[in-house]
Amino acid sequence: MAMSIAHQASEITLPPVNPGCANLLEFLCRQFPRIAPEIWQARFADGKIHWFGGEMVTATTPFSPSRRLCYYREVVAEPKIPFTEQLVYQDEHILIACKPHFLPVTPGGDYVNECLLMRLKQQYQLDDLVAVHRLDRETAGLVLFSKQPNSRAAYYQLFASGQIQKSYQAVAALPAGQQFSVGQKWQVQNRLEKSNPKFLMQQVEGEVNARSNIRLLEVKQGLGLFELQPFTGKTHQLRVHMLGLGLPLLYDKYYPELQPKEALEFSQPLQLLAKTLSFIDPISGKPQHFSSERQLQSWSD
């Protein structure tokens, strides 16, 4: 059976206290219960697991507290995404790229090499490139990457402390019989928590943890083009906030109803685009503003 194997290792740091594992095989089976023990045994046998630094291990190597372990993820028939990213900006410290719809930012799930991070590493020979934030795989738009370990924390802090301004564009169908006017604004504040299945989010009662501003930019043929400004970074925040206004995003496979997992429908990308990033560069002190030239398909047709 043909496998797609990650070009670069994933890492896991073993806990400081042994949870009761006699060896590394027991630990990995405990840590990743959905991966069959036979798969881990084969990876050990094939030399696809080693300590950080390169020292090889076997299935019977004893558990070693707090030590970093490297392994290579594998999937069968990794999907190929037939869309390209665009380089928006790079300097000594950062790189900003515009991600196409359907392409994940980093490896995960069915994707090990087919992701924005790996594409950029290979194209620009940047082995130490790291994504500072994430976009959903279904969302297109700007992603900021760090190139230098010594300045990386400063860019992480931009997001952690809310010192970066982001805006998105989205398209939604306008419900018949309701009045909408260009320039109309909404301020959405509520509490979002995990739903069932756990990768979905839902609005619940309680202390506010999700805030967004939404503005209607244009109207045509029963559709609205919206500008979305998130002030917090909850999973699926903008999708759920638009849903709460009765304006679910066009081609959303999660909201308002989870669609069955099927082959990727490249002709119907989620109509959500991370359009702009603005911040004071923590290294140079200069104001930075970046905008994607990408257009949402349903609005440019």
CA separation for the pair 70, 28 (Å, rounded) = 11
Lowest average pLDDT, out of 70-74, 97-101, 250-254, goes to 70-74
For residue 193, give the nearest of 179, 180, 205, 178 by alpha carbon: 205
Lowest average pLDDT, out of 23-27, 42-46, 173-177, 240-244, goes to 42-46
Contacts of 21 (CB under 8 A, 6+ apart): 27, 30, 63
Chain mean pLDDT for the chain:
91
CA separation for the pair 216, 226 (Å, rounded) = 5
Locate all alpha helices (DSSP H) within 130-233, ordered by sequence: 149-160
Q: 14-25, pLDDT tens digit by residue?
A: 999 999 999 999
CA separation for the pair 88, 142 (Å, rounded) = 8
3-class secondary structure, 28? helix
Q: How many residues does the chain have?
A: 301
Residue type at 229 in one-letter notation:
Q
User: What pLDDT score was predicted for residue 127?
Assistant: 86
Q: Once rounded to an integer, what is the mean pLDDT over residues 186-205?
A: 94
Residue type at 236 in one-letter notation:
H
**Within this chain, domains 3-76 and 86-300 share the same CATH topology:** no
Q: Once rounded to an integer, what is the mean pLDDT over residues 128-149?
A: 94
Q: Checking phi first, is residue 66 left (phi over 0); if not, alpha (psi -120 to 50) or beta? A: left
Residue 26's φ and ψ, nearest 5 degrees, are -60, -40
Lowest average pLDDT, out of 73-77, 95-99, 166-170, goes to 73-77
Look at the domain 3-76 and name its fold.
3.10.290
Q: What is the dotted CATH code of the domain comprising 86-300?
A: 3.30.2350.10
- Provide the 10 A C-beta neighbour count for residue 160: 12
Q: Where are the domains of the chain?
A: 3-76, 86-300
CA separation for the pair 225, 214 (Å, rounded) = 10
Lowest average pLDDT, out of 6-10, 189-193, 250-254, goes to 6-10
CA separation for the pair 286, 261 (Å, rounded) = 45
CA separation for the pair 154, 142 (Å, rounded) = 19
3-class secondary structure, 279? strand
- What tokens does 248 get? 């679910």
- Provide the 10 A C-beta neighbour count for residue 238: 24
Higher pLDDT, 301 or 228: 228
C-alpha distance from residue 45 to each of 25, 37, 57, 123, 242 (Å): 11, 12, 9, 32, 50
With contact defined as beta carbons under 8 Å apart, do 238 and 212 qualify?
yes
Higher pLDDT, 57 or 33: 57
Helix, strand, coil % in the chain, rounded to nearest 5: 15, 35, 50
Token pair 């076997």 is found at 58
Q: Once rounded to an integer, what is the mean pLDDT over residues 263-275?
A: 92
- Provide the 10 A C-beta neighbour count for residue 44: 21
CA separation for the pair 9, 69 (Å, rounded) = 9
CA separation for the pair 299, 292 (Å, rounded) = 15
